Amino acid sequence: MPEIREYELFEIREPVSQTIPFVYNSPHSGRIYPPEFIAQSRLEGISIRRSEDHYVDELFSAASRLGAPLLLANFPRAYLDVNREPYELDPRMFDGLLPPYANINSLRVAGGLGTIPRIVAENMEIYARRLPVQEGLDRVESIYKPYHAALRRLIARTHVQFGFGVLIDCHSMPGNVRVAGSNTRPDFIIGDRYGTSASAELSRMATSILEEMGFTAIRNKPYAGGFITEHYGRPARGLHALQIEVNRAIYVDEVTLEKHTDFPLIVNAVTGFMRQMASYVEQFSIDTALAAE
């Protein structure tokens, strides 16, 4: 767990030239913990890392090789969560008054998982004491807004170049997730905000590709997509956003965070999925279900 003061907050891994209308985004795989954050926290070691989407950036690392940019966060989700509205903030966490435009009543804030989270997974409180309000607002200004500006640029560039674009928002989920009403453990969940963030055919194809590869894949339940999927998916304009959740249990030990020995096989499978998605979109790109109306 690197603890360095100066680092790139996020990276854009660009292809030599963008040849497919995809943008890949990994907002929760960051694992560089600022020392001042560690000093503020009551957690340490592996405990504070429980909210990471462990190694998702590595799972989708082939994006640039396949001709698409990959945006990835280096800062941890526990420090700032860019898959939220910019000001989903919990007043109980701060000394001082939040600005009136802060959304203090969202379900995510109530659950401790706002833009600046109060807890990591398993309901472990992050902070030993309250934060100054200005520090919270500064994180939004210095990290959240530049990250989303970079994401918007990538999506806009893709849209201009190809006439439409597909954002794949990449995440991982706990191994104990089950399909409601059954004991089925999904290996992957594809989220399209119940058909509002991407064409239904695109999300069906994503699920079908994974199933044909031998994985258990479902759509939308319990993860339909967060702020990023909802905010950037505009199918009527030819902008499609899918969230993909990978079950951590298939590639990492969730207690030690050590990669399984077959981690490279999962990377290869994810790469195959990305390649097949690109082929599908290339084949059907003139379909009005994908291109702008």
pTM, two decimals, is 0.94
Question: What is the percentage of the chain residues whose pLDDT exceeds 70?
Answer: 95
Q: Please tell me the predicted confidence (pLDDT) of residue 184.
A: 85
10 pairs with which residues across the strands?
Answer: 73
Q: Please tell me the predicted confidence (pLDDT) of residue 292.
A: 55
Assign 111 to helix, strand or coil: coil
Q: Please tell me the predicted confidence (pLDDT) of residue 1.
A: 39
- Token pair recorded at residue 4: 């360095």
Residue 181 has pLDDT above 90, yes or no: no
Higher-pLDDT residue of 279 and 184 is 279
Mean pLDDT of 240-252: 98
Residues 150-171: tens digit of each pLDDT:
999 999 999 999 999 999 999 9
Q: Please tell me the predicted confidence (pLDDT) of residue 10.
A: 97
CA separation (Å) from 69 to 58, 62, 214?
A: 14, 10, 27
d(C-alpha 229, C-alpha 174), whole Å: 20
Q: Please tell me the predicted confidence (pLDDT) of residue 123.
A: 87
d(C-alpha 62, C-alpha 58), whole Å: 8
**In the chain, domain spans:** 10-80+147-291
Residue with tokens 């994006």: 63
Mean of all residue pLDDT scores within the chain: 94
Residue 86 has pLDDT above 90, yes or no: yes
Q: Please tell me the predicted confidence (pLDDT) of residue 158.
A: 98
Mean pLDDT of 178-183: 80
Apex 237 CA angle, 231 and 238, nearest 5: 95
Residue 274 has pLDDT above 70, yes or no: yes
Higher-pLDDT residue of 292 and 43 is 43
d(C-alpha 242, C-alpha 192), whole Å: 5
Residue 257 has pLDDT above 80, yes or no: yes
Going by their DSSP bridges, the two strands 188-191 and 239-247 should be labelled as antiparallel
Mean pLDDT of 109-122: 94
Q: How many helices (DSSP H) and strands (DSSP E) are in the chain?
A: 9, 11
Residues 14-46: tens digit of each pLDDT:
999 999 999 999 999 999 999 999 999 999 889
Q: Please tell me the predicted confidence (pLDDT) of residue 6.
A: 52
CATH number listed for the domain at residues 10-80+147-291: 3.40.630.40
- Do the beta carbons of residue 69 and residue 14 sit within 8 Å? yes
